[in-house]
Amino acid sequence: MTATTSDTIPKAAIVVGSQREHRAGLQIAEFVQETLQDSQLSAKLAIVDLAIWNLPLYNEPGIPSRIFSAQEYQHEHTQRWSREIASYQAFIFVTPQYNWGYPASLKNALDYLFNEWKGKPAMIVSYGGHGGGKAAEQLKQAFGPGIVRFVCREKEGNSREIR
């Protein structure tokens, strides 16, 4: 039996997709983090809040699928974003449903990168006044086939109220 060190523990990012001031996303992300940590998950969880990152509208001249390292991006904000996302082995996207879709801030953050997301497992936690299912469907489509591997089955409904 080998000991697990912090270097070998996989890292998963809980990406908060909304940048609104009064949003439930951060609270839901914290709930997801606490719930998974309480389940003795063998992964190190970190919240990646797009409101803190505050990425400008996509402005890289290159095509992300043809870029394989952070240094290849032109802008410093993209290089930092690339290094951050590349450091995770899995993702949990927490997204609200705005006007039957997911927020522009999340689409923008996804569009900056390609290879940093590619092939990694992911799941979606969506929410909204109408349940969030449409936002989750659209988010899956945005990744296209084979970019990330979605690992959870879908479940609609309010299984737990977060206060």
Asked if residue 136 belongs to a domain, the reply is yes
Asked if residue 39 belongs to a domain, the reply is yes
Asked if residue 158 belongs to a domain, the reply is no
Number of domains in the chain: 1
Rounded average pLDDT over 89-111: 96
CATH number for the domain harbouring residue 135: 3.40.50.360
Asked if residue 160 belongs to a domain, the reply is no
Which domain, by its residues, includes 144?
Answer: 15-150
Asked if residue 41 has pLDDT above 60, the reply is yes
In terms of C-beta distances under 8 Å and separation of at least 24 residues, what long-range contacts does 79-88 make, across chains too? 81/53, 81/55, 81/109, 81/112, 81/113, 82/112, 82/113, 82/116, 84/13, 84/48, 85/13, 85/48, 85/113, 85/116, 85/117, 86/116, 87/11, 88/11, 88/12, 88/13, 88/46, 88/48, 88/120
Asked if residue 75 has pLDDT above 70, the reply is yes
Asked if residue 159 belongs to a domain, the reply is no
Asked if residue 6 belongs to a domain, the reply is no
pTM, two decimal places: 0.88
Asked if residue 8 belongs to a domain, the reply is no
Asked if residue 58 has pLDDT above 70, the reply is yes
Confidence label for 94 from pLDDT (cuts 50, 70 and 90): very high
Asked if residue 110 belongs to a domain, the reply is yes
